[in-house]
Structure 1
Amino acid sequence: MKRFEFRLDISPTQYLAYYRGEVLQVVVTLANGQTMSFPAGLLREFVLADGIHGDFVLTCDDHNKGARLSRRPRPRSIRVRA
């Protein structure tokens, strides 16, 4: 199983090109500096009113098949009283 980590910051206007089918692939820079692409359709479930923002993980098999995209959870902040 392969695992790729990256950050996405896509505005609603930018996402329209994916939504309309004008752009079929998303190209991202991975945490290690390499670039990769994946089908834009994988973004659909992550679209909010302000676009798509966050840290994501794409997993697939060793032949780059069966791609799944998930959002990495934000670290919780802990408030400490002095």
Structure 2
Amino acid sequence: MHYYFFSLNISYQTFLSHYNGAASNILVVTDNGLRLQLPATRFRPFLTQMGVKGRFRLTTDQNNKFLKLEVL
């Protein structure tokens, strides 16, 4: 398994454009400087009135297929 750590701070209004389909992906930069493109739908469980904010850990398998995304 591979683990990727990153912080995210997207306002509620900005995320609405992703939620409504105007933009389907979110580009994040990991703590190691790696750029990852993730489907916006993966962040819906973490959406609050403040937006999507916090530290996250992405877990992938050996082929870099998505396994889970969790807030730390």
Same fold per TM (> 0.5)?
Answer: yes
Report the number of matched residues: 72
Runs (4 or more) in structure 1 with deviation over 6 Å come to none
- Which structure shows the higher strand fraction? 2
- Please list the CA deviations of residues 55-80 of structure 1 after superposition, one character each: whole Å capped at 9, or x if unmatched: 000111111223311001xxxxxxxx
- Please list the CA deviations of residues 16-59 of structure 1 after superposition, one character each: whole Å capped at 9, or x if unmatched: 11100111111011101121111111101000001011000011
TM-score (normalizing by structure 2): 0.92
User: Match of 1:50, as an amino acid?
Assistant: M
Q: Output the CA distance in 2 between the equivalents of 1:43 and 1:66.
A: 13
User: Match of 1:36, as an amino acid?
Assistant: L
Structure 2: tracts of 5 or more residues without a match: none
Structure showing greater Rg:
1
- CA-based RMSD: 1.0
TM-score (normalizing by structure 1): 0.82
User: Match of 1:29, as an amino acid?
Assistant: V
Bigger RCO (CA 8 Å, 6+ sep): 2
